[in-house]
A and B are shown apart, each in its own frame.
Chain A
Amino acid sequence: MAYFTQQLINAITLGAIYGLIAIGYTMVYGIIGMINFAHGEVFMIGAFISLIGFIICGSLGISSAPIAIVLVLLLAMSFSAVYGWAIERTAYRPLRGSFRLAPLISAIGVSIALQNYVQLAQGARPKPGGQIVSGGFNLFTADGFDVRVTWLQIIIVLVTIVLMAGFTWVIARTSLGRQQRACEQDMKMAALLGVNVDRTISLTFVLGAALAAVAGMLFLMYYGVIDFFIGFLAGIKAFTAAVLGGIGSLPGAMLGGLLIGLIEVFWAGYFSSEYKDVAAFAILVLVLIFRPSGLLGKPEIEKV
């Protein structure tokens, strides 16, 4: 029981990070019907900007962890948002109205370019991030096994919940969110009502990128080490999470992230940690075969 609880705590933490990245996939898919294959790279860049941010905070003598985290969070979100915007402008917008595969190919191109750019600029070796938040507490002890929750895990889950709640509120309740959903459902009609569709699509990329940057920062803090290649695996897993939850569905992305975290951690904890990635991707295959619209995906049939 103790071992199970410990795995559960770890899984929720990991699932939170996947969920944050998955939101970007699902939102972009929702609005333009395409997967942003450069999204994992935005996550990776967010992690690097966070690392640089923490180093700057250190050299400025900001020793309070909460202040440093908030500052780095804002820094990473705003810089990555620019990357998200630039990806849309360079890889997607010029190819709108072109054949469907074209923007996917250009996005993969952007992805490769960003990986190599970071590799050149930051070096290929893994970068240690140092420990920003340490410590935790014992939840309970059973069978001679301490079930531990670290402060960092609490921060990760709390930041994720706050961001997801805020984000859900923006989409469901604000005029901006309504315009975003309107573009998703009928772009031509949205334009007829005065929505600037191009700007709304840009905004979707920007919001997704900002959330991915937060995931990047949390990843850096949790694992303590990053390199230019982390975006690939995390990106594909978050993509799997988005598909599992139902691509295009916002709550689906959050649920999918959590489930992928659970699957991965429990597989590693009970079966084999070498094959944890295989477990996550086997789920992708199974979902695509048996339930392509995902757990919370929208039904395709609509009354006209």
Chain B
Amino acid sequence: MIGFLIQRLLQALLVIVAMSIIVFLGVYAIGNPIDVMIDPASDQALREALIHRYGLDLPLIQQYFVFMSNMLHGDLGESFIYRLPVLSLIFSRFPATLELALTAMLIATCLGIPLGLWAGYKPDALSSKAIMAFSVLGFSVPTFWIGLLLIMTFAVELGWLPSGGRGPVSTVLGMPLSIGSLEGLSYIILPAFNLALFKLGLLIRLTRAGTVEVMSSDYVRFARAQGLSESKVVGLHVLKNISIPIVTVFGLELGSTLAFAVVTETVFNWPGMGKLIIDSITVLDRPVMVAYLILVVFLFVLINLVVDLVYGQLDPRIRVKASS
């Protein structure tokens, strides 16, 4: 088990280093940020000074090593635009994104699993077909477009919910959160639902497929032959069996939800990391882009690792393999 863990950790480290090189080279190959930062009319001396100050005159390899050694010291550079350390800039936006992503995942889970169970339990029912049609919409229609529809319906036409922004936040457990107050909740509900739709569609499909498979299995037939009630069959056999793929996907999707928040945050003007990266891309704020990407990759690798470990706990067949 320990060997397995060390092996996975080394792999993860390798991935992060490889990605940092790719991201660094990729991002630093774009245009000249100095042109964006200063007035084009300003004199050459000021340009040179700035280029030198940010080390942009060094060879790319050297820039990378400077960047890496700084990163190992916890310094990911300073934003060209905000003139703030990138790390603190990103972390100041992180709670908003995390809250949005987790709320979205919660909505997707609470709706997706029961709907998927039903659609898998009664695959031929009209209601099941409606659920499946909804799930197709959920993951094929672009998120931003659904966001617009939500705004138009609930904010503009009905006027029930605010159209964007984060509203008031209250500090819960040291983090500024929206869900602490009813008014804050009214701000998060539309973006969270918007962000949830894709996962919801996915989760419904996944749950349904798993349910159909388990319901037609011999052990469910055997359980019925023992006189287990239908609720017990579903609650015991189906739920336990589908929990494995669902946990996997759920874990992996947490990362992509954080990434997809880019779109939802732009639509709903939600002040999170995603909004920050979009703004940084348009103004070529390299340090922010690089730091954001490396952090996201790091997050992904971390989540993958955790999912692998949880998976092993859930599936006894894997657990045996890992220990032997």
Answer yes or no: do A and B interact: no
Residues of A within 8 A of B (CB): none
**Chain B interface (Cβ within 8 Å of chain A)?**
none
